[in-house]
């Protein structure tokens, strides 16, 4: 069982965009277990046996509620096991194999976004896009200033604007130290291009769905002007599932 699971999850599943580009479909394994459950210490079990991560650590969550959500993914599989439909398991694997054992580099990766966060760079036209960016992004910046003491400056276009060291330090201090919450924040920052959106979700200042909408203001505007792109929407659905997995970790991690 261990070798099979390592084979399933050792390589990140292709998202729809990448799969289309390479014209490949993953070869899915048949389901080999009857049921997933939760054991002692939050371990996720298949037919009573613990699951191992790709790095051969026990797949165990810090709370029973989170372990139950992971087990639900395994129980939801049909005749085959599709890792692409198991975003919470993939995130848990990444946290257990990576973040738990070396959190400092993950903090650094999240902090890098604070120097050039998505929310800092605004369009100068058209007026409708400018207004939408302000509606979605300004409340998050206001929260960062009032709740975290981090005041950031904005720029029009893509010209880099240097942020105050004090602002970056204040926001960096709000990055969770707990490895599970840290891993979830890192995932959200990567998915949205914004550490501030990720931190706001972690602190309960913003719902994950609102953060997702804020991260896609520009893309939504373009699709409104030029039409919806099926492949883009498929890719977004895939990554939104990853966003929801990260939100689940934040909800159920201690």
Domain boundaries, the chain: 2-86, 103-252
Question: Which candidate, 157, 155, 154, places its Cα nearest to that of 125?
Answer: 157
pLDDT (0 to 100) of residue 254:
85
- Average pLDDT taken over every residue of the chain: 92
Task: Label residue 234 by pLDDT band (50, 70, 90).
Answer: very high
pLDDT above 70: residue 32: yes
**pLDDT above 80 for 26:** no
2-86 fold: ATP12-like (3.30.2180)
Q: Answer yes or no: pTM beyond 0.75.
A: yes
Using the 8-state DSSP alphabet, how is residue 15 labeled?
A: P
Determine the Cα–Cα distance for residues 180 and 250; give it in Å rounded to an integer: 8
Task: Using a pLDDT cut of 70, give the percent of the chain over it.
Answer: 90
Given the candidates 3.40.830.10, 1.10.3580.10, 2.60.40.350, 3.40.50.970, the CATH classification of the domain at 103-252 is 1.10.3580.10
- CA distance linking residue 161 with residue 152, whole number of Å: 10
Instruction: Report pLDDT for 17.
Output: 55
Of 82, 8, 70, residue with least CA distance to 39:
70
Instruction: Give the model's confidence band at 227: pLDDT under 50 very low, under 70 low, under 90 confident, else very high.
Output: confident
pLDDT of the residue at 3? 46
Evaluate if residue 152 carries a pLDDT over 80.
Answer: yes
Residue-level pLDDT at 4: 44
DSSP one-letter code for 56: S
Q: What is the pLDDT of residue 231?
A: 86
For the chain, give me the number of helices (H) and strands (E)?
Answer: 12, 7
Return the exposure string of 65-101: e unless at least 16 CB atoms fall within 10 Å of the residue's CB, then b: ebbbbbbebbeebeeebebbbbbbbbbbbbbbbbbbe
Task: Compute the average pLDDT of residues 226-230.
Answer: 85
Q: What pLDDT, on the 0 to 100 scale, is given for residue 2?
A: 42
Q: How far apart are CA 168 and CA 238, in angstroms?
A: 31
The answer on pLDDT for 20 being more than 90 is no
Instruction: Kindly tell me if the per-residue pLDDT of 226 is higher than 50.
Output: yes
């Amino acid at each position: 069982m261990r070798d099979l699971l390592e084979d399933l999850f050792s390589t990140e599943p292709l998202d729809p965009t990448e799969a289309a580009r390479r014209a490949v479909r993953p070869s899915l394994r048949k389901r080999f277990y009857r049921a997933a459950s939760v054991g002692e210490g939050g371990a996720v079990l298949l037919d009573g046996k613990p699951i191992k991560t790709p790095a051969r650590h026990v797949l165990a969550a810090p709370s029973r509620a989170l372990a139950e959500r992971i087990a639900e993914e395994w129980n939801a599989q049909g005749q085959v096991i599709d890792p692409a439909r198991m975003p919470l398991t993939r995130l848990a694997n990444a946290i257990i194999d990576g973040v738990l054992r070396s959190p400092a580099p993950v903090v650094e990766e999240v902090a890098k976004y604070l120097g050039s966060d998505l929310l800092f760079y605004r369009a100068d036209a058209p007026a409708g896009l400018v207004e939408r960016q302000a509606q979605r992004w300004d409340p998050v910046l206001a929260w960062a200033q009032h709740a975290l003491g981090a005041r950031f400056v904005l720029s029009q276009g893509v010209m880099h604007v240097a942020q105050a060291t004090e602002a970056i330090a204040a926001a960096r201090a709000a990055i969770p130290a707990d490895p599970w919450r840290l891993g979830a924040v890192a995932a959200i920052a990567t998915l949205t291009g914004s550490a501030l959106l990720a931190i706001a979700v972690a602190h309960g200042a913003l719902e994950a769905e609102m953060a997702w909408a804020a991260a896609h203001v520009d893309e939504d505007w373009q699709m409104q002007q030029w039409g919806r792109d099926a492949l883009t929407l498929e890719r977004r659905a895939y990554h939104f599932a990853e966003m929801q997995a990260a939100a689940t970790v934040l909800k159920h991690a201690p």
